[in-house]
Chain A
Amino acid sequence: MRENLISVNNVSVNFDYQENFISKKQKIHAVNNINIKIKKGSFFGLVGESGSGKTTLGRAILGANKISSGNVIFHDDERDYDLTNINKQDLKEYRKKAQLIFQDPYAALSPRMTVRDIIAEPLEVMRITNSRQETDDRVRDIASKCRLNLEHLRRFPHAFSGGQRQRISIARALVSNPKFIVADESVAALDVSIQADILNLLKQLQNELNLTYLFISHDLSVVAHVCDIVAVMYLGHIVEMAPSRKLFKNPKHSYTKALLSSIPSIDPENKSRAIELKGEIPSALNPPSGCVFRTRCPNPCDNCRNGNTEMGLIEVESGHWVDQCCVNCN
């Protein structure tokens, strides 16, 4: 049995951009040269600010974005799917095995469909079940696994609260029996009390159904709690990647350190000020040369400041990867 479920090799995603029809065509470098391996049964976290390319990478892995260079391989039990040159038939198969849970449970559910129809739709579209009876059975099965009240299946989404809606979205993603789930900011829109409930549910379903997650979030404390491995993204690059305990105990990259210090402490007496990063994330249209973080780095070396360094992850401890600029700088 193979260890990895997903291999992402040197993947870049660029978008074409033209401000108006006479101006020059430009490229937005959304994701640059990413290498990750997601192990079977792992909870892989992806954190970063808005604009860092987390969602684009997640969508690229699902085959929902065009990959500009590099390749993504999904290792199924019997065969591999190479998403860069996949035919239509295989893509349909792949869609059954990899699913997405969205951020906003208010926008993700059609207001005109009953909960039963929402959850059953993937089965019907992908022609997984053969009879209505079979569809109903699968819907009821997954709904009860997601702790939805089965009597509520005939209601419409407006009758449900945020947490219940998110459970409906999860049920819909899981009904086709996928192996891989991308959860894109799936708890960001929820209150803390509900957030804990949904996180526990995702964990429990992972054990029950043998799932592998790519969990995209900007909330480091949530990621620290649920993920096994965490990759920190900044402006399209992974700047640090490590098992989550290692990363949060002993962050090496200055960006990770700044992110961690920015989380407001729950202890009112702990008034230590965050390491304040200057300015904001630069535009992906025109990223800094060399190390992309140099414009906001609290202590860049001279080489770095002039844009003469090259980015690339190096392994500083077993399993703990950090961008080399930062290691050489300090």
Chain B
Amino acid sequence: MSHLLEVKNLDVKFDTDEGRITAVENISLSVDQGEVLGIVGESGSGKSVTAKSIMQLNPGNTSYNEDAQIILDNENVLKFTSKQDLKKIRGGKVSMIFQEPMASFAPAIKIGAQMVEQLLIHKNINKDEAKSISINMLKRVGIADAEKRFNQYAFELSGGMRQRAMIAMALSTMPKLLLADEPTTALDVTIQAQVINLIKDIIKEYQMGVIFITHDLGVIAQVADHVAVMYLGSVVEKGPVNEILKNPKHPYTKGLLEALPDINNLDEPLRPIPGNIPSPLDRPTGCVFRTRCPHPCDNCREGKTEMGLIEVEPGHWVDQCCINCG
């Protein structure tokens, strides 16, 4: 069976005044129906850029490589140029939930009007039908007084409720793929727990594919089926969530897990990953992680190795430099 979404050999580069920046290099990922793929990594690792490429939302100075493919439902979205085609992926087959719900609703337009507008664009229905779909969706995500909220503005809703309304809006067009970019980062833990449970229930109910971007490994553990760990634009490890979190092979994944404060083990000291993530302007040659690797081999230290994932156990892929090094 073919995947719902398949990203093959994607490079994303930005042309800036200071030169050409490689934001994403040679990424391959896939998502099936009803599956949640978690992408983790530090800020600047290219998580959001990857997600935005799927909807072609990257800014005008972006260039993709020739042989890259993003195949959604047997169509290569990177080849889409007409408005008609782009509409299919922007809000039709693919929806996105952003980190900051206040910034993603228009402040001077009522929530309901925004929900109805996008339904009218993507579905062949009239205003009344769109309104009833929207109100049902608001109810479905657990908003009390949905009819009243429908006529309110974003600033009248609290943070958690805004994020629910955002989810309701993203889901009302029944997308096949949902991109969730740090949807719980700005929320308090109690509200985060509510939103995570909601997203899990909805995925089960509608059987959509989800890409869940976060830097919180705890959230990944609870939501995702598969994980891809990104560092400086490259995927350094990917596989089933249980395998990656319990049996990490790459030193970066191990470092992330060790740096995480664990509430069940307070005697364990916190171990930061030494050094800082390098600027994308001077991306290391060879293995991108070598400047922070705890035990690089000589070849690696000189930047002579080449990156590429190899399968160490069924479904568990790790960057080859690290296997050869350590």
Q: A50-B159, A263-B189, A280-B191 are contacts. A225–B218 as well, Cβ < 8 Å? A: no
Q: A262-B193, A264-B221, A277-B190 are contacts. A192–B158 as well, Cβ < 8 Å? A: no
Complex CA gap A50/B192 in Å reads: 13
What are the residues of chain A within 8 A of B259 when measuring CB–CB?
192-193, 195-196
Complex CA gap A268/B257 in Å reads: 13
B215 and A191 contacting across the interface, CB-CB below 8 Å: yes
Least Cβ distance of B14 to chain A in Å?
18
Query: 8 Å CB contacts to A: which residues of B238-257?
Result: 241-242, 245-246, 255-257
Partner of B271, one of A49, A196, A245: A196
Complex CA gap A225/B192 in Å reads: 21
Complex CA gap A122/B16 in Å reads: 37
A220 contacts chain B at the CB level, 8 A cutoff: yes
A271 and B222 contacting across the interface, CB-CB below 8 Å: yes
What are the residues of chain A within 8 A of B276 when measuring CB–CB?
161, 163-164, 194
Q: A196-B261, A200-B270 are contacts. A262–B218 as well, Cβ < 8 Å? A: no
Q: Write out, one digit per residue, whether chain B residues 102-133 have a CB within 8 A of any chain A CB (1) or not (0).
A: 00000000000000000000000000000000
Partner of B219, one of A218, A264, A269: A264
Partner of A273, one of B43, B197, B241, B262: B197
What are the residues of chain A within 8 A of B193 when measuring CB–CB?
261-262, 264, 274, 276
Least Cβ distance of B114 to chain A in Å?
22
Least Cβ distance of B194 to chain A in Å?
6
Least Cβ distance of B233 to chain A in Å?
16
Q: Write out, one digit per residue, whether chain A residues 260-297 have a CB within 8 A of any chain B CB (1) or not (0).
A: 11111111110101101100100000000000000000
B245 and A266 contacting across the interface, CB-CB below 8 Å: yes
B21 contacts chain A at the CB level, 8 A cutoff: no
Q: Write out, one digit per residue, whether chain A residues 222-264 have a CB within 8 A of any chain B CB (1) or not (0).
A: 1011000000000000000000110010000000001111111
Complex CA gap A116/B271 in Å reads: 29
A41 contacts chain B at the CB level, 8 A cutoff: no
Least Cβ distance of B266 to chain A in Å?
6
Q: A192-B260, A260-B263, A262-B192 are contacts. A280–B161 as well, Cβ < 8 Å? A: yes
Query: 8 Å CB contacts to A: which residues of B21-57?
Result: 42-43
Complex CA gap A12/B121 in Å reads: 52
B188 and A50 contacting across the interface, CB-CB below 8 Å: yes
What are the residues of chain B within 8 A of A261 when measuring CB–CB?
193
Residue count of chain B within 8 Å CB distance of chain A: 42
A49 and B257 contacting across the interface, CB-CB below 8 Å: no
B266 and A225 contacting across the interface, CB-CB below 8 Å: yes
A199 contacts chain B at the CB level, 8 A cutoff: yes
Partner of A280, one of B160, B197, B257, B273: B160
B43 and A266 contacting across the interface, CB-CB below 8 Å: no
Q: A191-B42, A192-B215, A266-B221 are contacts. A161–B277 as well, Cβ < 8 Å? A: yes
What are the residues of chain A within 8 A of B194 when measuring CB–CB?
276-277
Q: A162-B43, A192-B259 are contacts. A266–B217 as well, Cβ < 8 Å? A: yes
Complex CA gap A200/B42 in Å reads: 19
Partner of B257, one of A200, A245, A266: A266
B272 contacts chain A at the CB level, 8 A cutoff: yes
Complex CA gap A195/B260 in Å reads: 9
A306 contacts chain B at the CB level, 8 A cutoff: no
A220 and B189 contacting across the interface, CB-CB below 8 Å: yes
A134 contacts chain B at the CB level, 8 A cutoff: no
B221 and A268 contacting across the interface, CB-CB below 8 Å: yes
What are the residues of chain A within 8 A of B266 when measuring CB–CB?
224-225, 244-245, 248
Partner of A259, one of B189, B215, B218, B269: B189
Question: Which single residue of chain B is at the shortest CB-CB distance from A197?
Answer: B272
A221 contacts chain B at the CB level, 8 A cutoff: yes
Least Cβ distance of B49 to chain A in Å?
17
A269 and B270 contacting across the interface, CB-CB below 8 Å: no
Complex CA gap A264/B188 in Å reads: 12
Question: Which single residue of chain B is at the shortest CB-CB distance from A283?
Answer: B158
Complex CA gap A261/B197 in Å reads: 13
B216 contacts chain A at the CB level, 8 A cutoff: yes
Least Cβ distance of A151 to chain B in Å?
16
Which of B242, B245, B261 has the most A CB atoms < 10 Å from its CB?
B261
A263 and B263 contacting across the interface, CB-CB below 8 Å: yes
Complex CA gap A248/B256 in Å reads: 23
Complex CA gap A306/B271 in Å reads: 49
B188 and A218 contacting across the interface, CB-CB below 8 Å: yes
Which of B194, B216, B222 has the most A CB atoms < 10 Å from its CB?
B222
B196 contacts chain A at the CB level, 8 A cutoff: yes
What are the residues of chain A within 8 A of B215 when measuring CB–CB?
191-192
What are the residues of chain A within 8 A of B269 when measuring CB–CB?
200
Question: Which single residue of chain B is at the shortest CB-CB distance from A261?
Answer: B193
Q: Write out, one digit per residue, whether chain A residues 150-164 have a CB within 8 A of any chain B CB (1) or not (0).
A: 000000000001111
Partner of A193, one of B188, B192, B255, B262: B255
What are the residues of chain A within 8 A of B42 when measuring CB–CB?
191-194
Q: Enumerate the 10 nearest inter-chain pairs by beta-carbon distance, A residue then B residue, closest first.
A: A197-B272, A264-B218, A274-B193, A196-B270, A193-B273, A196-B272, A262-B193, A49-B188, A221-B261, A262-B189
13 A-B residue pairs with Cβ-Cβ distance under 8 Å, sorted by A, are A49-B191, A162-B43, A191-B42, A193-B42, A199-B261, A200-B269, A225-B270, A258-B190, A264-B222, A268-B245, A269-B242, A274-B190, A277-B190
Q: A219-B189, A274-B197 are in contact. List 13 more A-B contacts (CB 8 A).
A: A162-B43, A192-B42, A192-B216, A192-B259, A192-B260, A194-B272, A196-B271, A220-B263, A248-B263, A262-B192, A271-B222, A274-B190, A276-B193
